[in-house]
Structure 1
Amino acid sequence: MNNFRSIFIGLFFILSSNQVYSQSELSLGNEVVLNNFIVKENLLKNNKIAIIAVDSLDKPLENLSGTFQFSINGFGQELKFNNGVAVAAQAIDKSTFLYLRHENESGTHGKLYYVIRKGDSINPININWWVLVIVPLILIILAALFRKFIIFAIILLVFLFYYNSTNGLKLPTFFETVFDGLKNLI
């Protein structure tokens, strides 16, 4: 009976001392690794974006603090996170594409957003990499199936390319987003 109690107490302490972390919150000593994030409008409504550290279920990681290296549209920036939130230094002047990328020991984590600016508010919309592939692919398939649709499909593709490039989604960023998405599939 005494051995059973000792085993039970030992198991209780072992199980209660382990903390369960989600996929994107790994604790390495005192270091917390950032593997997932979302973009929202800054609470101050100053046309800046707030990058929020989240776990794999998009639940905010309020215990994350420190400086992390990000790339925003190809420009390197050190973002200082306080309680899981960092604010980018640049203000958003007009609607644009934003490609945020963070690299750490566990891999590269990138996300593409289209930030809509209306008046004094901004609304970031996450764009999955497969949307960038599916839309042109559907236009090409429709053009191949219906010969009369070829000129209309070419005009739509040129318009899509022009719109994306004038709003910050250049061809290298397009391919980088698609390749990052494909790497995450594997």
Structure 2
Amino acid sequence: MIFPFTGTAQQASINDFMVKENLSQNGKLAIIATDSLEKTNNQVNGDYKFTINGFQQDLRFTDGVAVTSNPIESSTFVFFKHKSGDKEIGKLFFLRVTEKGISPYKISGFLLIVVPLLVLFIAYKLKRFLITLLIIALVYFYLNYSKGLDVKQLIESTILGLKDLI
């Protein structure tokens, strides 16, 4: 061999992830890199870029698990997005905070389309469209101002959910 061999380690890519409360229950979230069977991918190590509610963060993964730097103090909506090569993964969660800890509930992009259409269908059938629209607007403003729900996050989660269906 004329040239010395210089090998570089290739970082494992994150194909999917799930969100849980950190084991120490300190109010922080653990992001777990998973494979297609939702088993932890222990080969994921190093820094990976995630966008959390529009803010880009570098998360350090060790054996497939990373912990967010900021604790969650109250119930809120959180949109996680990660771009791995040509694949973009985005998930919307509702994080419910209680005395027992944080319970993350994944919100499907499909539900973001079906539920409003169902509400509009019911409103149309009951001829109460204006009252229903007012109630939806009040719920949206409540969630927007007190729980951190943003229209941009809803639209982006819906688009990524539709991409997964196709």
Q: Same fold (TM over 0.5)?
A: yes
Structure 1, unmatched stretches of 5+, are 1-28
Among 108, 132, 140, the residue aligned to 1:153: 132
Match of residue 4 from structure 2: none
Match of residue 113 from structure 2: 133
Give the deviation of 1:153 after TM superposition.
Answer: 1.5
Among 74, 80, 88, the residue aligned to 1:108: 88
TM-score w.r.t. the length of structure 2 is: 0.88
Match of residue 22 from structure 1: none
Q: 3-state SS of the aligned residue for 1:34?
A: coil
Number of residues of Structure 1 aligned to a counterpart in Structure 2: 157
Q: Please provide the CA RMSD for this pair.
A: 1.5
Q: Deviations over 1:110-148 (max 9, x none)?
A: 10110000125111111101111111111111111221x
C-alpha distance in structure 2 between counterparts of 1:84 and 1:178, whole Å: 27
C-alpha distance in structure 1 between counterparts of 2:165 and 2:112, whole Å: 16
C-alpha distance in structure 1 between counterparts of 2:112 and 2:143, whole Å: 10
C-alpha distance in structure 2 between counterparts of 1:38 and 1:150, whole Å: 38
Deviates more, 1:167-176 or 1:94-103: 167-176
Give the deviation of 1:161 after TM superposition.
Answer: 1.3
C-alpha distance in structure 2 between counterparts of 1:76 and 1:135, whole Å: 30
Structure 2, unmatched stretches of 5+, are 1-8
2:160 corresponds to 1:183: no
Give the deviation of 1:30 after TM superposition.
Answer: 2.9
Query: Based on CA coordinates, which of the two structures has the bigger radius of gyration?
Result: 1
Match of residue 80 from structure 1: 60
Give the deviation of 1:157 after TM superposition.
Answer: 1.2
C-alpha distance in structure 2 between counterparts of 1:129 and 1:58, whole Å: 19
Give the deviation of 1:150 after TM superposition.
Answer: 2.1
2:49 corresponds to 1:69: yes
Identical counterparts, % of pairs: 35
Contact 1:139 1:157 in 2 (8 A): no
Q: 3-state SS of the aligned residue for 2:80?
A: strand
C-alpha distance in structure 1 between counterparts of 2:114 and 2:148, whole Å: 20
Higher RCO structure (Cα 8 Å, ≥6 apart): 2
C-alpha distance in structure 2 between counterparts of 1:163 and 1:180, whole Å: 25
Q: What amino acid maps onto 1:99 in structure 2?
A: F
Contact 1:136 1:157 in 2 (8 A): no
Name the structure with the higher helix share. Answer: 1
Give the deviation of 1:181 after TM superposition.
Answer: 1.3
Contact 2:11 2:45 in 1 (8 A): no
